[in-house]
């Protein structure tokens, strides 16, 4: 499933290019549409992006949702976007050079350059087509940005005089979180910044039973002409069609905190609203002004769920700084990397998934 945040979704790490990738050519802001029991003709060798993906109609394609999530929930101000808030936190001084992991076609950093938030960038992506597009757009627009093909789970990150690392809807596809976060910590100076907007919800989108019941309840309150066709994400199909999606999403913050001090954590929500509003063909086919009251109804239920326990958020806006002390020493770092490689070699076992429903399906 896509990163779940609409604005161009970058293809992530290490799985081979499939039909799934073409549906990801536009990086999106949260986890993808819900699937059902597998379609009758689905086989492990039948990689069909239609099982999970749509090319449009994400929750934040709705203007009011985008305003709520990336403005009000991210910053507390309905008129301030998350990247503008970062600039304010940085004293109004633009960042000199950013490393953007799994940058897709580079739209995030180009937008920040247009706003005067960022002066230059180096980006990486697994897909050469995205790298080519990003370099072409940077050259055509006169942006000081360069992009390289890179497998984040295998290749070492480029080094340089970076004062900012950007993760936009990328880390939830990373298999080797310690491998990546160790490098990010080491390449940033002590006063460097790590900014992340990503999915941090249930592994493999295996939603807890109470949440799934709430999603169904809220959806059932909508009139039939805007209801979502809900079905629980089918793990075996997901593993066959998109094995990198949300594979260790619940471990992102835990791994990040081993190497970074989290200066700001803003839960963006999504547990109720995302599955109902994303790829809801009936709702998105109608003019948004005609469905606004139903969108508001769903977003209010999402906010209520989030208020009861902000830790249950699907998406988070994070600003972090490299830890100067208390990071794992080399011996422990090496141990973490060995365990990570062993776990990945074991495949989709319950090692990572014991706290969630995913454990029952692998």
- The single residue listed with the structure tokens 């990801």 is 24
Rounded to an integer, what is the distance from CA 14 to the centroid of its chain?
Answer: 16
Report the candidate in 264, 322, 289, 266 with the shortest Cα–Cα distance to residue 89. 264
CATH architecture of 19-361: 3-Layer(aba) Sandwich (3.40)
pLDDT tens digits, residue range 261-282?
Answer: 999 999 999 999 999 999 999 9
Identify the weakest region by mean pLDDT among 46-60, 94-108, 260-274, 291-305.
46-60
Identify the weakest region by mean pLDDT among 62-71, 192-201, 340-349.
340-349
Percent pLDDT > 70 in the chain is 80
Res. 73: pLDDT tops 70: yes
Higher model confidence: residue 183 or residue 345? 183
How big is the chain, counted in residues? 362
Neighbour count for residue 123 (Cβ, 10 Å): 28
Classify each residue of 49-85 as buried b or exposed e, where b means 16 or more C-beta atoms within 10 Å of its C-beta. Answer: bebbbbeebbbbbbeebbebbbbebbbeeeebbbbbb
Percent pLDDT > 90 in the chain is 64
Q: Write the CB contacts of 172 (distance below 8 Å, at least 6 apart in sequence).
A: 3, 31, 198, 199, 200, 245, 246, 247, 248, 249, 252
Mean pLDDT for 57-61 is 89
Res. 52: pLDDT tops 80: no
Whole-Å CA distances, 13 to 107, 202, 291: 19, 19, 37
pLDDT tens digits, residue range 108-158?
Answer: 999 999 999 999 999 999 999 999 999 999 999 999 999 999 999 999 999
Res. 32: pLDDT tops 60: no
pTM for the full predicted model: 0.83
């Amino acid at each position: 499933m896509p990163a779940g945040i609409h604005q161009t979704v970058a293809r992530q790490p290490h799985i081979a290019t499939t039909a799934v990738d073409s549906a990801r050519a536009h990086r999106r802001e949260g986890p993808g549409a819900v699937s059902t029991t597998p379609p009758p003709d689905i086989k492990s060798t039948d990689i069909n992006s239609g099982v999970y993906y749509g090319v449009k109609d994400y929750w934040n394609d709705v203007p009011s949702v985008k305003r709520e999530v990336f403005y009000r929930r991210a910053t507390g101000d309905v008129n301030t976007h998350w990247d503008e808030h970062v600039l304010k936190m940085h004293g109004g001084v633009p960042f000199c050079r950013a490393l953007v992991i799994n940058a897709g076609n580079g739209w995030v950093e180009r937008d920040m350059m247009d706003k005067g938030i960022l002066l230059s960038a180096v980006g990486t992506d697994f897909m050469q087509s995205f790298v080519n597009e990003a370099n072409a757009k940077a050259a055509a627009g006169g942006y000081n940005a360069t992009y390289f093909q890179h497998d984040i789970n295998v290749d070492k990150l480029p080094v340089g005089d970076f004062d900012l690392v950007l993760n936009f809807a990328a880390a939830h596809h990373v298999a080797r979180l310690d491998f990546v976060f160790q490098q990010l910590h080491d390449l940033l100076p002590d006063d460097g910044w790590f900014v992340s907007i990503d999915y941090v919800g249930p592994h493999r989108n295996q939603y807890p039973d109470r949440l799934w019941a709430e999603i169904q309840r809220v959806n059932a309150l909508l009139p039939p002409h805007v209801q979502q066709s809900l079905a629980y994400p089918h793990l075996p199909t997901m593993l066959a069609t998109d094995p990198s999606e949300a594979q260790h999403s619940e471990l992102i913050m835990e791994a990040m905190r081993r190497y970074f001090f989290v200066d700001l954590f803003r839960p963006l929500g999504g547990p109720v609203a995302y599955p109902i509003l994303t790829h809801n063909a009936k709702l998105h086919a109608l003019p948004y002004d005609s469905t606004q009251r139903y969108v508001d109804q769903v977003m209010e239920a999402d906010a209520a769920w989030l208020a009861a326990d902000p830790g249950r958020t699907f998406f988070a806006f994070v600003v972090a700084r490299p830890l100067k002390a208390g990071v794992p020493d080399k011996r422990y770092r090496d141990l973490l990397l060995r365990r990570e490689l062993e776990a990945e070699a074991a495949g989709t076992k319950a090692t990572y998934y014991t706290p969630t429903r995913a454990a029952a399906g692998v």
